[in-house]
């Protein structure tokens, strides 16, 4: 039986988060980057989605003045298509609102129509393009924003 929970990321989660990162991204962050985000970056807020004790997804954002900037969201490949990405994104939006952020933003690969569709359903709008944003293939990023207050 599934027991889905969303909570702050802990150092003890990093091994599973790093495995998920490698599975999800062509240029993954290193485990040490997550350690720094959790221990040194005062702007950073990272969360995991658990099924029992297994990390099945995670999301992170930085709070910069009154704006939340989503840095990354990932869901295990075998768990995609079941609404977990929506759960993580909605939960990050809720945390940003509870923290009195006025708006929330993110960048997404121009080719990632599934993610763009999800973000649009959650109220994000496309406001521009960052040309050649992604290091691996120089793909453009779509900049998306959502007003919170």
Active site residues: 107, 119
Dist CA 39 CA 140 (whole Å): 31
Non-local CB neighbours of 80 within 8 Å, separated by 6+ positions: none
DSSP state at residue 53: T
Decide: 118 and 89 in contact? Cβ < 8 Å. Answer: yes
Residue 13 DSSP code: G
Torsion of Cα atoms, 81 then 87 then 89 then 90, to 10°? 140
């Amino acid at each position: 039986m599934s027991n889905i929970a969303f909570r702050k990321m802990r150092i003890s989660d990093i091994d599973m988060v790093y495995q998920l990162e490698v599975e999800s991204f062509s240029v993954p962050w290193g485990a040490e980057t997550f350690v720094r985000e959790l221990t040194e970056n005062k702007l950073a807020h990272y969360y995991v989605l658990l099924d029992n004790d297994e990390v099945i997804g995670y999301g992170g954002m930085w709070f910069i003045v009154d704006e939340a900037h989503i840095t990354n969201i990932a869901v295990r490949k075998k768990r995609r298509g079941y609404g977990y990405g929506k759960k993580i994104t909605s939960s990050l939006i809720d945390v940003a609102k509870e923290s009195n952020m006025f708006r929330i933003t993110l960048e997404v690969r121009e080719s990632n129509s599934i993610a763009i569709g999800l973000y649009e359903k959650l109220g994000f709008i496309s406001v521009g393009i960052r040309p050649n944003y992604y290091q691996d293939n120089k793909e453009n990023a779509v900049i998306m924003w959502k007003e919170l207050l």
